[in-house]
Every structure is written in structure tokens, then in C-alpha cells.
């Protein structure tokens, strides 16, 4: 047997044990990029799901993943969600996401983020990054030093800064839309709401809801963060393990995803699940249907938390805070449309949202057959962004 044959068989066996291409195919991804720079400690994954509507835009998340496969899985799920988020929100963007493997409390450095920025720049605009879990505006500034394909940069540099306020506003409006559908009124006054997480989005969301007179409960794995939100909004702090089973009107997960799963599905005593986290359903098809069977109204996460994407997209056009909030307020109508479609077609809200998003991608994709005198990036916001930043 020749050496080349041995190598071929070895590679085939490796692919079988770790089927990266299989994972890409299963969710219809276009590309995955593995980034490594030992001097800075960078280990990152960039996943590009779909660029039919425009360049892939999605945040970079920093998290201490247990292993590389877990990180890849997260990148793939999150990037797919960004495609649907942009489509359902009427944005001319595709879906992408990046994850940086590391502890955001101790592994950050200027060199790590600048190295990541160079990998982003090497993609030539196919992927535009932004701030996500574990990242800050300062981190984005380091990335910006190496690439123009970044949003969520400080306001002093012409960016929008922290997108959390607009993300939270969109979640707030989406929760009100769910309340309108379920209770007949979108008022949150005296409604009991459990917020899981006490990060930036959760903090702003709690503020919006408390000002409307809601009774809030908050939990976080870092108790001091929950205590801070409680002191500012009058919320009651609860143990993270108890947040699922509270007898409330609305459960709002605003931390990591996968919180609606086999272990939690029977604990819920709420009428609505509407939160800012990504990939709230551990298994979209199974748990989306189970929530419907349990008579729990679910606001598809990538729709209700689209305010952050709407906010950073504004940077590609010239940022205006009032315009960003106005666009985010339309999440209210989008959620109502999805819930109405869900009822009329007896399909879970997540599936209704997917159908509507996929329909827009197909329709816009059809016009690619029409030749224009400009480049194939004609009318994409990424091109506007590139021109303005040169």
C-alpha cells in the first residue's frame, strides 16, 4: 500500500470521527474559519452561515468553552440564528458569528483582540464582527485597530458604543407584544417577570420593566451582579436553580442559550417566554413544540433580541440613536405577526418565524440573476460601510 493511500485512509477516518463538514452541511453553512495565534493565546472560530442578503454580520463571543467541539457547535448555531435574525428584521445582511475560547475575566489582552482583528480583516468583508457575550466596547476598539469590518466601536470613533440598551429595548417591546397576544393588553404593570441573568441587556431590560410597574425577580451565577440589578430596580434576587419554577407571567432568559431543555421544560409556570438570550431552545423542533403543547407563548429569540443587530447595522449607514430605537420598536409588530401566523397555521412560533425569514431570503435571492453594472456587492450595506471607512 502506498504512503498516499495510507494518508487518504487516515484522513477519511479522522473526518468520520470529527465530521466538521457534516456539521456545516446539516445547517447549510458556507464557511468556518479556525483562528490560532499562540503568542497572544488566540483560539477563535468564525462561522459564516449565509450571505444571500449581504455580508455576514454577527458578534464575537468570548467564553471558556469546555472543549473545541462545544465552541464550534455554539458558533454554528449562533451564526445560523443571525441569518434568520437579519432576514426577519428586514436587514440587508447575512448571518455570521465568532467565538473566542477563553475566560473573559482573565484572558483578555490587546494583542489577542488585535490578532483576532487581523483574521476578520483577512475575510475581506464577508464577515463583519461586533460585540457579544464576554466582550466590551474597549475590546472592539482593539479589533478596530486592525480592521474596518467591525461594529459596536466607541462613540468617540464614530460608532454606536454598547448595543445593550437597544437590544434590551427590543426585548421589552417584544415582551409587550406577547402580553398583548396572551393577556389582551400590552401593559406590564403588576406583571410578575423572572429575568435570568444580570448582565448589560438584563440590567437595561429590568429598568424598562420596573418603570412600567412590573414585579421583578432576577438571578445570576454571579450573585453580586444580581444584587446590583435588584438594588436599582426593586427586583427580588432568587437562586439561579429556582428561576425556572417561579410562578410568574413572563420568564425572560437573558444569559446563555439552551435553557429550555429536557430538564427545565416541566418546571415552567409562566405564560410567556421572551428573553434576550440566543438559542433559548436547546432543541428547536422538540422544545418549540413542547412549549406550544404546554400553552406557553414563545417569542423566537433571534427576533426579539434583534435590537442589538439593528443598532450596530446603523453604524454602516451613519449611526443615529433615535433611528436605532425607532427600528427596534418595530419588533413589537414583527412578534405579533409571527404569533398570528403561528395561530393560523397551527405551528410553533419558532417555525412560523423560520418560514417567514426563509421566504424573504428566497425572494431576495431570486433577483441575483439580474445583472447590474456594479459589483456583486451592489446595494449591500457592507459596501457602503467599506466606502465610508476608506
The pLDDT tens digits of the residues spanning 143-171 come to 999 999 999 888 888 888 888 999 999 99
The residue annotated as part of the active site, out of 13, 27, 43, 97, is 97
CATH classification of 29-83+94-154, choosing from 3.40.190.10, 3.90.79.10, 3.40.50.10860, 2.60.40.1930?
A: 3.40.50.10860
Let me know if 97 is a catalytic residue.
yes
The grid cell for 152 is 459596536
The pLDDT tens digits of the residues spanning 255-301 come to 988 999 999 999 999 999 999 998 899 999 999 999 999 999 999 99
Architecture of domain 164-360: 3-Layer(aba) Sandwich (3.40)
Nearest one of 201, 234, 196, 231 to 215, comparing CA atoms = 234
Backbone angles phi, psi at 123, to 5 degrees: -85, -5
pTM over 0.85? The answer is no
The domains spanning 29-83+94-154 and 164-360 adopt the same CATH topology: yes
Domain segments of the chain: what residues? 29-83+94-154, 164-360
Q: Where are the alpha helices (DSSP H) in 235-380?
A: 284-293, 301-304, 307-313, 321-329, 331-345, 349-366
Is pLDDT of 14 > 70? no
Amino acid at each position: 500500500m502506498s504512503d498516499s493511500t495510507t494518508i487518504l485512509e487516515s484522513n477519511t477516518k479522522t473526518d468520520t470521527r470529527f465530521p466538521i463538514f457534516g456539521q456545516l452541511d446539516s445547517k447549510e453553512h458556507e464557511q468556518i474559519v479556525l483562528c490560532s495565534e499562540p503568542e497572544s493565546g488566540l483560539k477563535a472560530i468564525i462561522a459564516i452561515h449565509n450571505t444571500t442578503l449581504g455580508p455576514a454580520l454577527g458578534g464575537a463571543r468570548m467564553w471558556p468553552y469546555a472543549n473545541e467541539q462545544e465552541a464550534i457547535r455554539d458558533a454554528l448555531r449562533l451564526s445560523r440564528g443571525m441569518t434568520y435574525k437579519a432576514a426577519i428584521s428586514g436587514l440587508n445582511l447575512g448571518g455570521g458569528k465568532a467565538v473566542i475560547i477563553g475566560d473573559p475575566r482573565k484572558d483578555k489582552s490587546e494583542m489577542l483582540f488585535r490578532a483576532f482583528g487581523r483574521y476578520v480583516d483577512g475575510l475581506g468583508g464577508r464577515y463583519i464582527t461586533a460585540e457579544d457575550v464576554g466582550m466590551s466596547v474597549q475590546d472592539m476598539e482593539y479589533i478596530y485597530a486592525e480592521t474596518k469590518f467591525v461594529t459596536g466601536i466607541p462613540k468617540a470613533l464614530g460608532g454606536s458604543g454598547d448595543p445593550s440598551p437597544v437590544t434590551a429595548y427590543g426585548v421589552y417591546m417584544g415582551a409587550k407584544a406577547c402580553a398583548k397576544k396572551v393577556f389582551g393588553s400590552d401593559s406590564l404593570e403588576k406583571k410578575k417577570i423572572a429575568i435570568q441573568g444580570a448582565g448589560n441587556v438584563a440590567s437595561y431590560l429590568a429598568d424598562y420593566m420596573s418603570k412600567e410597574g412590573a414585579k421583578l425577580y432576577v438571578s445570576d451565577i454571579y450573585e453580586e451582579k444580581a444584587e446590583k440589578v435588584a438594588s436599582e430596580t426593586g427586583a427580588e434576587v432568587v437562586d439561579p436553580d429556582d428561576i425556572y419554577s417561579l410562578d410568574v407571567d413572563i420568564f425572560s432568559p437573558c444569559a446563555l442559550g439552551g435553557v429550555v431543555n429536557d430538564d427545565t421544560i416541566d418546571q415552567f409556570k409562566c405564560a410567556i417566554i421572551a428573553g434576550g438570550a440566543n438559542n433559548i431552545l436547546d432543541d428547536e423542533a422538540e422544545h418549540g413544540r413542547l412549549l406550544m403543547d404546554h400553552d406557553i407563548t414563545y417569542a423566537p429569540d433571534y427576533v426579539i433580541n434583534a435590537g442589538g443587530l439593528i443598532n450596530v447595522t446603523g453604524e454602516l449607514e451613519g449611526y443615529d440613536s433615535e433611528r436605532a430605537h425607532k427600528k427596534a420598536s418595530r419588533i413589537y409588530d414583527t412578534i405579533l405577526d409571527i404569533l398570528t401566523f403561528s395561530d393560523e397555521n397551527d405551528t410553533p412560533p419558532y417555525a412560523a418565524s423560520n418560514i417567514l425569514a426563509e421566504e424573504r431570503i428566497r425572494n431576495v435571492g431570486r433577483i441575483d440573476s439580474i445583472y447590474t453594472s456594479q459589483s456583486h456587492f451592489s446595494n449591500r450595506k457592507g459596501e457602503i460601510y467599506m466606502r465610508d471607512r476608506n
